[in-house]
Structure formats: C-alpha cells, structure tokens
Amino acid sequence: MHSRHIAQIDLNLLRVFDAVYEEGGVTRAGARLGLTQSAVSHALNRLRYILGDDLFMRGPRGMRPTARAQVIGPQVRRALEQLQSALSADDFEPAVSERQ
C-alpha cells in the first residue's frame, strides 16, 4: 500500500475486510459486525477502490480472496488485534500497584 492510501483508510473498512476474509461472505460478515449486507458491500467497494484490487471474488462457496487479499488478510488481522490490545483498559488494582 502506498503512503497516500493510509490517509484514505477508515478503520471500519479494515474491520469489514477482516470480517469478509474470516467469514467468507458478505452477509455473514455483516451479521458479525451488526451491519447490513448492503453496508458491507459498500464498505468493501470503497476499500477496493482505495487499494486498487478486487480483494474478493464471488465463488460457489462464498467470497474467495484474491492473491492480494491473501497477503494482507493475516496482516490486517494482526494489526486489528494489536489496536484492540493497545486500547484495552488496564485493570488497576491500587493494593498491588507500584505507580506513583
């Protein structure tokens, strides 16, 4: 991805990509995210435009990732997991804390 792309990418587009990649279908991804099939399709189309790749192709068993999607899929998953971890609240226990 070129540096100019990063300014265009909404984190929600990556969440949609990850859900479609994992679920193998737009409808199942939408159910997982609490979005309609139409909303998932529109988000996926935006990401396709930004990245210049189809990302997924319809097949007899759902959406098949393109070669590019296969490369970035695990990386996007790890990035989302790292963000989730970074933003998770630490459990603060005053009795054992060494903070000052």
Instruction: List pLDDT tens digits, range 35-56.
Output: 999 999 999 999 999 999 999 9
Give the Cα separation of 17 and 19 in Å (integer): 6
Distance from the Cα of residue 91 to its chain's centroid: 27
User: Token digits for 21?
Assistant: 């990649």
- In the block, residue with structure tokens 């929600």: 12
* Mean pLDDT over the full length of the chain: 90
Helices (H) and strands (E) in the chain, counts: 5, 2
d(CA 13, CA 78): 15
Which amino acid, one-letter code, is at 32? R
When pLDDT is averaged across residues 14-22 and rounded to a whole number, the result is: 98
